[in-house]
Structure 1
Amino acid sequence: MSRIGKLPIAIPSGVEVKVGTEAVEVKGPKGVLVTPTHTELNYAVEDGHVVITRATETRTARAQHGLRRTLLANCIQGVTKGFSKTLEVIGVGYKVAVKGNLVELAVGFSHPVIMEMPEGVEAKVEGQKLTISGTSKEVVGEIAARIRRVRKPEPYKGKGIKYDNEQIRRKAGKSGGK
């Protein structure tokens, strides 16, 4: 039995979970999220908890059990608290600005890089820190990764876009004259 999959998911107040044949819909104060179900798993809403059990003991059912439970738990957390990722822009002359649903990055190219935020994702700037927040953990992480990919931090001076909690392994560079 999956250690993660067998844990019941608590449904907080103000959250409604509807189990369908194709997907599970989670409604909460921050919005609605839908996650697909798996045919070899059974979903049940019992007295304030969602319980996922295996219909069969096949290899795919065992593999999907913990995954689907975690995806559903992320949906419930997303519609109640939400998710956020913070990125730091480090470098002389590097700037970040938010204009509506567009993020404008000036990170050493001859032109600014403009990225559009999808619906349900919000960006805020405080100094050199950019915070991406939204209800879907997957979408927030993907957008943050795309922004980081524009200018990854380099190991010599540490310039670039990095996650707030990321440690950059620094290199010594060239040794001076011998």
Structure 2
Amino acid sequence: MSRIGKLPIKVPNGVEINYNVPNLTVKGKFGELQQVIPDSIIIEQTEGNLIVSPKVKTRNSQALHGLYRSLINNMVTGVSEQFKITLLLQGVGYRAAVQGKKIILNLGYSHQVELDIPNGITINVIKNTTVVLEGCDKEQLGLFASKIRAWRPPEPYKGKGIRYENEIVKRKAGKSGK
């Protein structure tokens, strides 16, 4: 049995959960998320808690047990608190700006990089070099942050690039002089 799957999910006030097999809908003050739950997973709603359990103990249902418990917990957390990812742009001339539904990045290329901001994600740019992404869907938020980071991943010699807030980049010495 999954150690994570056994834990109950606490549902905070203001979060509404509707489960019509196989669709699960979670509504909160920051948005609404939907997930399709497989037939091998049972969701029971008690007072202020959700309990996720496998219908039959097979190898496949036990593998999905912890996964869907984590996905549902992320949905509940996202609509009640929102997730936040901070990206730091380090390098001479690297900067970001938001114009309408696009983020525009200057990353040392001969052209500006323009990316469309997906629905459900808000972006704040602080001092042109710090990009704060917020959203209720953890998967979509992480995917968009990785798309931004993929344009200039941090390099080990000078430390230039786009990095996550608490990311540590191991630096290399480079060439040694005579």
Give distance in 1, aligned partners of 2:94 and 2:47: 52
Question: Structure 1 residue 45 and structure 2 residue 72: aligned?
Answer: no
Give distance in 1, aligned partners of 2:70 and 2:103: 30
**Matched residue, 2:58:** 58
**Matched residue, 1:12:** 12
Identity %: 42
Moved over 3 A (4+): none
The one-letter code matched in structure 2 to 1:132 is L
Specify the SS of the correspondent of 2:118: coil
**Per-residue deviation, 1:21:** 1.2
**Per-residue deviation, 1:135:** 0.6
**Per-residue deviation, 1:23:** 1.8
Specify the SS of the correspondent of 1:150: coil
Question: What value does the CA root-mean-square deviation take over the aligned residues?
Answer: 0.8
Give distance in 2, aligned partners of 1:73 and 1:161: 29
**Matched residue, 1:74:** 74
CA shift digits 1:126-176 (9 cap, x unpaired) = 111001111100011000000000011111000110101100110100010
- C-alpha contact (below 8 Å) 1:101/1:122 kept by paired residues: no
The one-letter code matched in structure 2 to 1:18 is N
Question: Structure 1 residue 162 and structure 2 residue 168: aligned?
Answer: no
The one-letter code matched in structure 2 to 1:129 is T
Specify the SS of the correspondent of 2:88: strand
Aligned length: 177
- C-alpha contact (below 8 Å) 1:41/1:61 kept by paired residues: yes
**Per-residue deviation, 1:84:** 1.0
**Per-residue deviation, 1:68:** 0.2
**Per-residue deviation, 1:54:** 1.1
CA shift digits 1:104-140 (9 cap, x unpaired) = 1100100000011111101111111001111100011
- C-alpha contact (below 8 Å) 1:104/1:112 kept by paired residues: yes
Q: How does 1:1-178 map to 2 (within 5 A)?
A: 1-127=1-127, 128-177=129-178
Give distance in 2, aligned partners of 1:6 and 1:38: 17
Give distance in 1, aligned partners of 2:31 and 2:177: 58
CA shift digits 1:51-110 (9 cap, x unpaired) = 111111111111000110010000000000000100000001111111122111100100
Q: Which moved more, 1:165-174 or 1:93-102?
A: 93-102
Give distance in 2, aligned partners of 1:84 and 1:36: 24
TM-score by length of 2: 0.97
**Per-residue deviation, 1:36:** 1.7
Give distance in 1, aligned partners of 2:30 and 2:92: 37
- C-alpha contact (below 8 Å) 1:29/1:79 kept by paired residues: yes
